[in-house]
Amino acid sequence: MTTLKEKPKVYVIGVGMTKFIKPGSAPNWDYPDMVKEAGEKFFTFLINKALSDAQLQYDDVEQAAVGYLYGGTCCGQRALYEIGLTGIPIYNVNNACASGSTAVYLSKLCIEGGHVDVALAVGFEKMKGGSLESMENNDGRTHALERHIDLISSTNGLVPTPLMAQMFANAGREHMDKYGTKREHFAKIAQKNHKHSVNNPNSQFQKEYSLDEILNARVIHDSMGLLECSPTSDGAAAVILCSEQFLKKSPHLLKQAVEIIGNISFEKSKICILQVIEMHDCFAPNELISYEALGLCAIGKLLLGKGGEIVDKGDNTYGGKWVINPSGGLISKGHPIGATGVAQVVELSLQLRGLAGARQVPNCKVALQHNIGIGGAGMIALYRLAEPSLTTATNVKDPAKKIFLSDAIFDEIKERAKTEIDLSQKINSSFRFILIGPDNAVKKWFVNCKVAPPTIVETGEGDVEVEMTMKESDFIKIVTGKLRPDQAFLQRKLKIKGNLAKALKLRTLVKPEFLKAKL
């Protein structure tokens, strides 16, 4: 058996996907139509958008693997014949929610084995609305999750709510009971993923929610609400893989080639410095638990119960250590089961190539994929650009860093918090500042002067008495004495939610004479 270092290199050289949508919302859009759309976009991207002309034709594809969960036999053949891919081996993969990533892995194995040079991996799903159980056939056969169900029944008891929701909500409850994780930690993960999806045109949902909206959403099981659950979805995604030999013969593809470093365990994944992760957030608790399972909470050892710290520090979003689920994740991008794992590869490839648009992760060099399937399936993979020097991702500036002049104001508040022991007593209020800066970049600050010493956090999360939204330029005018808060409010330059009287304490937070010299 060859070692990881001895295996031939395999590359992703093209990607494509449909928009993920609510099941049934597009009439007469079945899985062959989805694959045709994903395939057309995919090949158009490869041929016309590569450096000049990739000159890759359908005939270059020597094999295909197709992941899906619901449907009869040979759905892969039915879908791919629709776009003219005939006369090649087509393998159908059913591996629960990891079906798509397993199709990618199968294609990679065949290339590594020298059987083919070019392989296509496709994932799709045509679903129904409602829970997953509503799509299952109850024909008396042993259920694949029989042991899981028995354990849930004996531990927590079964109730008439969706089984998958029970599994992950119970896991979240156990995490809270064991480690002191807060309900808000899970809600903040869902809030983050919904926010990320706003910049993804292929997401099923593209709406940002407040923390209160997520916490107060309809309860699905235990304390877990609707907005913390991935939806059922229709959609498809496709990626094409090639061998190192094929890439050498096609140098025009080098700029867009993404190397699959390996499909490995979390113990090995920690050797790399990651910038972006597409994680299996089927339910919000699973994302937090997966932080720990992947070893993100510590270097060199597994620390259970520390996932909440990643949320508190903002290390799962832009400006933190990693950007986790920039696509919106399963919760907001959608979860057409067979397509999910392939769509993760699409997102990570675009990120590494610097083509993710408004959701681009700055300086993206190494990416990780995490995709699981209930019942024992799962896939973890690392990706990097074949030629890192050719990426445009390293040229992207982080909109959350170094472009806000108002950072100096909050730095001054932090310094005052260290020296003025009575600052909390003077202010006795909590604020959230939402500042709109250059290029409509948004930065949030949470300032809590109800505790001593005051807390000043850039991520901007937490319950507050007053929330103020304004342009950064107007904020600077207010704190430097050029614009009174009441004037800004009356001129509609300042939007206030909460206690208006406490909002007027804004001027007390800063020293204008000091800031004039600093800004």
Task: Look at 343 and 135; give whichever has higher pLDDT.
Answer: 343
Domain at 505, CATH number: 3.30.1050.10
The whole-number average pLDDT for the span 293-299 is 78
Tell me which of 340, 361, 392 is where a domain ends: 392
* Domain-embedded: residue 39: yes
Label residues 314-339 b or e (16+ Cβ within 10 Å = b): bbbbbebebbbbbbbbbbbbbbbbbb
- Domain containing 32 equals 10-128+232-273+323-392
pLDDT digit string, tens, across residues 156-205: 777 878 888 999 999 999 999 999 999 999 999 999 999 999 999 999 99
* Domain-embedded: residue 401: no
C-alpha 188/C-alpha 26 separation (Å) is: 31
Do 364 and 256 share a structural domain? yes
C-alpha 269/C-alpha 374 separation (Å) is: 22
Q: How confident is the model at residue 503 (pLDDT cuts 50, 70, 90)?
A: confident
pLDDT digit string, tens, across residues 138-160: 666 776 777 777 777 777 777 87
Average pLDDT, the chain: 83
* Domain-embedded: residue 306: no
Do 461 and 373 share a structural domain? no
Domain at 56, CATH number: 3.40.47.10
Tell me which of 336, 361, 392 is where a domain ends: 392
Neighbours of 500 (CB within 10 A): 12
- Preceding omega of 201 cis (within 30 degrees of 0): no
To which H or E segment does residue 390 belong? none
Do 244 and 105 share a structural domain? yes
Do 105 and 51 share a structural domain? yes
* Domain-embedded: residue 171: no
C-alpha 324/C-alpha 281 separation (Å) is: 10
Is residue 65 pLDDT above 70, yes or no? yes
Cα radius of gyration rounded to whole Å, the chain: 25
Do 368 and 447 share a structural domain? no
Task: Using a cut of 0.75, tell me whether the model's pTM lies above it.
Answer: no
Do 247 and 341 share a structural domain? yes
Do 115 and 33 share a structural domain? yes
CB 145 within 8 A of CB 377: no
Percent of the chain with pLDDT over 70: 83
Report the interhelical angle of 163-179 vs 284-293 (nearest 10°): 50
Report the interhelical angle of 472-479 vs 407-419 (nearest 10°): 40
Do 380 and 504 share a structural domain? no
What's the total number of domains in the chain?
A: 2
Query: What is the 3 state secondary structure string of 18-46?
Result: CCCECCCCCCCCCHHHHHHHHHHHHHHHH
Give me the pLDDT at residue 138, please.
60
**Running DSSP on this structure, what letter comes out for residue 142?**
P
Is residue 375 pLDDT above 50, yes or no? yes
Give me the pLDDT at residue 39, please.
62
Tell me which of 346, 369, 392 is where a domain ends: 392
Q: Which of 234, 99, 210, 221 is nearest to 152 (CA)?
A: 221
Do 419 and 487 share a structural domain? yes
Give me the pLDDT at residue 459, please.
63
Q: Which of 480, 482, 489 is nearest to 517 (CA)?
A: 480
Between 130-134, 165-169, 234-238, the lowest mean confidence (pLDDT) is in 130-134
* Domain-embedded: residue 144: no
* Domain-embedded: residue 359: yes
Give me the pLDDT at residue 132, please.
57
Do 362 and 450 share a structural domain? no
Do 465 and 411 share a structural domain? yes
Do 432 and 340 share a structural domain? no
pLDDT digit string, tens, across residues 409-449: 888 788 777 777 777 778 888 888 889 887 677 788 888 88
Q: How confident is the model at residue 396 (pLDDT cuts 50, 70, 90)?
A: low
* Domain-embedded: residue 412: yes
The whole-number average pLDDT for the span 387-409 is 67
Q: Which of 440, 457, 439 is nearest to 448 (CA)?
A: 457
* Domain-embedded: residue 470: yes
